[in-house]
């Protein structure tokens, strides 16, 4: 099942939808047809345990689209929002692919190998939706791409034990392009900051396009993360290369923080980013570039740099 956060272009209202063969079903008004209201945001829907209802509506609209004709939107009638634009916590795990660790070492972007999960916060103000144009800030010439697998939390989690099964706590996965200004990152590493301005400028967090529920993911540690720029393949790395897996991540953060529905965990950049290559200067993102970050064969997040 594919769930989308969107804005209806005609009305300007934000909403939550599920993809069906006949179009994107606007869940809030569609739910009223069945007498079962659905929240208009993914965070609220997860907090209320509404995914089974979303499945029911998906099945009903797929079987009888005419019944929901007034609430089916086609591409061009809606604009994608960041999948969870209002998460309480968007925690990004750093240094989590063995291949990427080597790139960071070669470029003085890491001081030591982490012995436990590390991370930083992605600000909601940095997020952008699928197919949005993202402005490269004035003076930035080292804008890099980072396709990342993101887990979306579906139920509250506290004190998660490392040996527990994480799947019951997960609603699904999506994609983040963790855009990074490498020059600023180098200065922040040198000064010891943990804020990561380099990753939190407006638009530096394209997120989406959709929630892919866990029943569609056979194995989250056998997925190919890819990045194309202007149609050229820049990287293709399997999630098996991750050092810390979602059970480790939940265990680490839930010791002190209650993990809530709608919280997000981005699991780090794979190897193959521009900064890790000898020709980095020619690979950094420029105005006009179209970046496609994907879980290969599953979903693709597209961003245009302006």
Query: How many angstroms from the chain centroid is the CA of residue 191?
Result: 28
Q: Quick one: fold of 90-305?
A: Fumarylacetoacetate hydrolase; domain 2 (3.90.850)
Q: Print burial letters for 128-140: b (CB count within 10 Å at least 16), e (below 16).
A: bbbbbebebeeeb
| pLDDT of the residue at 293 | 98
Considering the entire predicted model, what is its pTM? 0.95
Least-confidence region, from 127-131, 209-213, 272-276, 289-293: 272-276
Which residues, listed in sequence order, are joined to residue 173 by a DSSP beta bridge?
A: 151, 212
Question: What's the average model confidence in pLDDT over 281-300?
Answer: 98
If you ran DSSP here, which 8-state letter would residue 77 be given?
A: S
Question: What's the average model confidence in pLDDT over 121-129?
Answer: 97
What tens digit of pLDDT does each residue of 187-237 get?
Answer: 988 887 766 899 999 999 999 999 999 999 999 999 999 999 999 999 999
Return mean pLDDT, the chain: 94
* Contact criterion met (CB below 8 Å) for 281 and 275: no
Band the pLDDT of 115: cuts 50, 70, 90.
confident
Q: Where are the domains of the chain?
A: 2-80, 90-305
SS (H, E, C) 237-276: EEHHHECCCHHHHHHHHHCCCCECCCCEEECCCCCCCHHH
What tens digit of pLDDT does each residue of 58-101 get?
Answer: 999 999 999 999 999 999 999 999 999 999 999 999 888 877 66
């Amino acid at each position: 099942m594919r769930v989308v956060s969107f804005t209806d272009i005609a009305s300007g209202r934000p909403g939550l939808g599920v993809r069906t063969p006949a179009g994107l079903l606007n869940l809030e008004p569609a739910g009223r047809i069945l007498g079962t209201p659905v929240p208009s945001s993914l965070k609220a829907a997860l907090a209320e345990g509404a995914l089974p209802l979303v499945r029911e509506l998906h099945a009903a609209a797929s079987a009888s689209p005419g019944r929901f004709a007034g609430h089916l939107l086609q591409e061009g009638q809606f604009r994608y929002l960041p999948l969870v634009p209002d998460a309480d916590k968007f925690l990004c795990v750093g240094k989590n692919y063995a291949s990427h660790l080597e790139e960071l070492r070669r470029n003085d972007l890491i001081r030591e190998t982490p012995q436990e999960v590390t991370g930083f916060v992605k600000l909601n103000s940095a997020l952008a939706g699928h197919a949005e144009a993202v402005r490269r800030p004035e003076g930035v010439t080292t804008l890099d791409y980072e396709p990342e697998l993101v887990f979306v939390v579906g139920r509250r989690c506290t004190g998660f034990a490392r040996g527990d099964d994480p799947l019951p706590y997960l609603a699904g996965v999506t994609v983040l392009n963790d855009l990074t200004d490498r020059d600023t990152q180098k200065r922040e590493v040198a000064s010891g900051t943990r804020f990561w301005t380099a990753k939190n400028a407006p638009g530096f967090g394209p997120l989406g396009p959709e929630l892919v529920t866990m029943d569609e993911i056979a194995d989250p540690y056998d997925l190919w993360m890819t990045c194309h720029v202007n149609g050229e393949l820049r990287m293709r790395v399997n999630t098996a290369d991750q050092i810390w897996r979602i059970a480790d991540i939940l265990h680490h953060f839930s010791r002190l923080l209650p993990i809530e529905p709608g919280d997000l965990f981005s699991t780090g950049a794979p190897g193959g980013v521009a900064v890790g290559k000898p020709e980095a200067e020619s690979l950094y993102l420029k105005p006009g570039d179209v970046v496609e970050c994907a879980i290969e064969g599953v979903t693709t997040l597209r961003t245009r740099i302006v």
